[in-house]
Each structure stands twice: as C-alpha cells, then as structure tokens.
Structure 1
Amino acid sequence: MIETSFLVLFLAGLLGGGHCIGMCGGIVTALSLNLPEQRRGFILLSYNIGRMASYVLIGTLLGGLAQAGLSLLQVRPLQIGLYLLANVMIIGMGLYLAGLSPAITRIETIGKPVWRRLQPLLAPLLPIRHPGQALLAGALWGWLPCGLVYSASLTALASGSAARGALVMLAFALGTLPNLLAMGLFANTLKRWLQKRPVRLIAGLAVVGMGVYQLLSHLLPQYTPF
C-alpha cells in the first residue's frame, strides 16, 4: 500500500500548487528579484533542490524513527493507525485546497518552535547571489511550518522504514517542484490562475478523492473501483 502513496503524494504536491505558492511563493519571488536573467533559473533550481533535500531528510528521520520503534515494539496496529491518520490529513488538506475547510492549517503551529530557531540562520544568506546560497536557503525553508508537508510526513512515519520514508517525501517534493519553479519564472500569471475558484476546487477535491481512495483501499482490501 505504501507504493500507492508515492503516486498519491506526488499528485498531492502537484495539485497543492495554490497552497505552495501561498506559503513559499513570496520567498521564491524574492529570490528571483534582481537576478540576471541567465542565472535566475539556476538559482531557483538550487533553492528547490535544497528544499527537497530537507523534505527527504524529514522522511528519512521519521521513517527511521518508526522503523526503530516498530521493530522494538512489534506494534503493527500502530503503523496501520498512522497510515489511516495520514490519509485523513490528506483529505483535510484537500478540503483546505478546495477552500472548504481551513481546519488542517491548525497543525502548522506544531513546527513553529523549530522554525523560530532556524529562521535567524537565513539572514547571513541574503540577498541570494549564487547557487550555494540558494541551496542553503532552500534547505532552511524546507522546515517552514506547512500542513501539506506535515500530511506527507505522517505518511513517511507510517512507512515503517528510513528508506521508504525518504522515498515518500521525495515523491511529494517532486510534485511540488513544477509549481515553485514556474512561480519564480511566471509569478503573476501562475498566481492568478491558481487562485481561481474553479481551479482550487477541482485540485482540492482531487486530493480529497485520493485520500478517500487510499482509506477505502486499506480498510476494505476488496474495494477495487477500477
């Protein structure tokens, strides 16, 4: 079942473009300002590689933690419970993306203490002038409190191993990449398009559908809608 999560989280990252732009769009736009045209794409790519590396690290740590705990306790029901909770959170994030419920954003307060410690480390890196700075800045921004990241992270925790946790978060990170790369290059046009009500509704309900499908597939193994 975790293999299905790779595709689901990739699509959740991709369809969550409106949320990604709301959370990180201003950062990406600021990074791209006053950069020579010929270097802008490389700087933005470096930033996103750093951000994705942090997501993979989070997945590795959470998956490894679960692996140690599960092998120690042999608690299979706990892993199943985490997996079900992860999909409930994906459904909640879909409702938020669709503009139907902001409830899932309340979990973003969990990461604020960590972010308060990391945020001051950004100051020496600004303004961004070369890819190395962008890479480090992206790695720090990867820890920005974000409900969508936390939903994916819970799936990494439920994966039960460091390797699978890393792959889960890599799949999610790759899904977020196209929107944030495009945001740096076509900020105004992309932002206007993703904020349209029909686009948000379709994308959000698609994420809800994926979460519901995974829940049904896990709770009802015989459930095969296709």
Structure 2
Amino acid sequence: MAQEASYLAAFLVGLMGGVHCVGMCGGIVGALTLGLPESIRNRVGAMMPYLIAYNVGRITSYAVAGALMGGVGLIAANAAALREAQLVLQVVAGLFMVALGLYLGGWWQGLAQLERAGGVLWRRIEPLGRRLMPVKTPWQALGLGLIWGWLPCGLVYSVLVWAIAAGGMVEGALLMASFGLGTLPMLLGMGVFAATLATQVRRPLWRNLAGGLVVLFGIWTVGVAVMAPPAGTG
C-alpha cells in the first residue's frame, strides 16, 4: 500500500511540476509542433498521435533511468543494513523534494547546478535528436521523445534521487513512469494550446502553490523516515 502511495505522490509531483515543464520543455514542444506540416498542425486530431508518441518516448526514458537508479539503491541497501539504508535514502529523497519545491516556487535555484552537470551527457546525445528533425512520422516523434527524456532537468533529477529509495529496479521504473504521466497533461496541453497555457502557469500564484505543496511533501517524507521505529521493534 505504501508503494502505491509513492506512485500516486510521484504522479502529483509531476502534475504540480508542470509549471517548470512549461519553461524547460515548452520550447521543445513548440518546435515539434511548428515543425509538422501545416495540414497536420492546424488539426488537433491529426497532431495528437505525434504529441502522444513524443511523450511516450520521454516517459520511457524516465522509466529506464528510474530502473537504473532503483537498482543502484537496492545494491546500496543490500550492502548495508537494509532497513537503515532505506530510511537514510528516504531522508535524502525528502530533502531533495524540499529543494525541488523551493526550485519550483522560484525561491532557490540550487538545482540549476544539477542541470548544468547533466549537460555533459546531454551534449553527447542531443545531436542524435537533430537527425530526427523535422519530424514527419509518429515513429520519428517517438525517437525524439526517447532522446528528450535525457534533457538536463532539476525536476527529473530530484525524482530520480527518490527512485533510489524505491526498493528496486521495477519500483524505480514505476515511480519515474508515474512522475512522467503526471507531467503529461501540461505537455500535451503545451502542444495544443501553447500560448494560452504558458501565460497561465507562469503566474507567480501557480509557481508558489506548486512549490509550496512539494516542499510540504518533502518535509512529510523526511518526517516519516525519522519517526520510523528502529529495526526489530513494533
């Protein structure tokens, strides 16, 4: 039951983090949309398969990254006392959630350092995406989404830290997939209603609300780990 709650929470973090997605990924979605033939671009029904394929690729990459991080966490936990290691990882994940909330609210930009560090990998794989432009088929959109999933992003990196504490590769993949599904409404909306949506979610009210809720969730996550009974009790 606790694991299912984590997936729901990851979905909600993705949903609330949509205000950040507009800034980070809005330009990419716009480039994809504007690069489509006019006969497709002017019809939502014709454009939707491309946007869905693009986002399926992105979420698949998130799930792969989550599986890798979940595996790392499982190895670390097995190398130490399992329960104690999981609680430590949960505290770290909660602190990253607090940092993420501050980042989303625009109150602290420390996670931008993580994005710059991730740029090292991105510079190596980004040229692959250029070869798929302009997008002419949903399959190309899927391939571009698979690459886009590795775009340096403090929001994604924070949830990846959470995936380390998920308990294993499958759990890490499901956690990141849940998060990716949470970002889906905003990014699909960006593809269809880019200008209107971007204007609304960039308002300070939405950023502050999303950031504050994620901070509270991070504090709750740390509190659950700190208040957990010691191993062998209860």
TM range (shorter): over 0.9
Given that residues 64 and 173 in structure 2 are in contact (C-alpha distance below 8 angstroms), is that contact kept between their aligned partners in structure 1? Answer: yes
Provide the C-alpha distance between the structure 2 equivalents of 1:128 and 1:74, rounded to a whole number of angstroms.
50
Given that residues 19 and 97 in structure 1 are in contact (C-alpha distance below 8 angstroms), is that contact kept between their aligned partners in structure 2? Answer: yes
Task: Provide Cα deviations, 1:71-92, integer angstroms capped at 9, x if missing partner.
Answer: 3444543332222111111111
The Cα of 1:70 is off from its aligned counterpart by: 2.9
For residue 108 of structure 2, the aligned residue among 98, 101, 107 is: 101
For residue 119 of structure 1, the aligned residue among 110, 116, 126 is: 126
Q: Which moved more, 1:158-167 or 1:63-72?
A: 63-72
Give 2:129's aligned amino acid: L
Q: Which moved more, 1:69-78 or 1:7-16?
A: 69-78
Residue 169 (str. 1) matches residue 176 (str. 2): yes
Where structure 2 has 5 or more consecutive residues not aligned to the other structure, the ranges are 230-234
Given that residues 50 and 136 in structure 1 are in contact (C-alpha distance below 8 angstroms), is that contact kept between their aligned partners in structure 2? Answer: yes
Residue in 2 that maps onto 1:193: 200
Task: Provide Cα deviations, 1:43-98, integer angstroms capped at 9, x if missing partner.
Answer: 00000000000000001111123223433444543332222111111111111111
The Cα of 1:109 is off from its aligned counterpart by: 2.3
Q: Secondary structure at the match of 2:106?
A: coil
Q: TM-score with structure 1 length normalisation?
A: 0.92
Residue 4 (str. 1) matches residue 5 (str. 2): yes
Residue 87 (str. 1) matches residue 88 (str. 2): no
Given that residues 94 and 220 in structure 2 are in contact (C-alpha distance below 8 angstroms), is that contact kept between their aligned partners in structure 1? Answer: no
Residue 143 (str. 1) matches residue 144 (str. 2): no
The Cα of 1:111 is off from its aligned counterpart by: 1.5
The Cα of 1:134 is off from its aligned counterpart by: 0.4
Give 1:40's aligned amino acid: M
Where structure 1 has 5 or more consecutive residues not aligned to the other structure, the ranges are none
Residue in 1 that maps onto 2:32: 31
Residues matched between the structures, number: 222
Given that residues 90 and 221 in structure 2 are in contact (C-alpha distance below 8 angstroms), is that contact kept between their aligned partners in structure 1? Answer: no
Q: Which moved more, 1:8-17 or 1:71-80?
A: 71-80
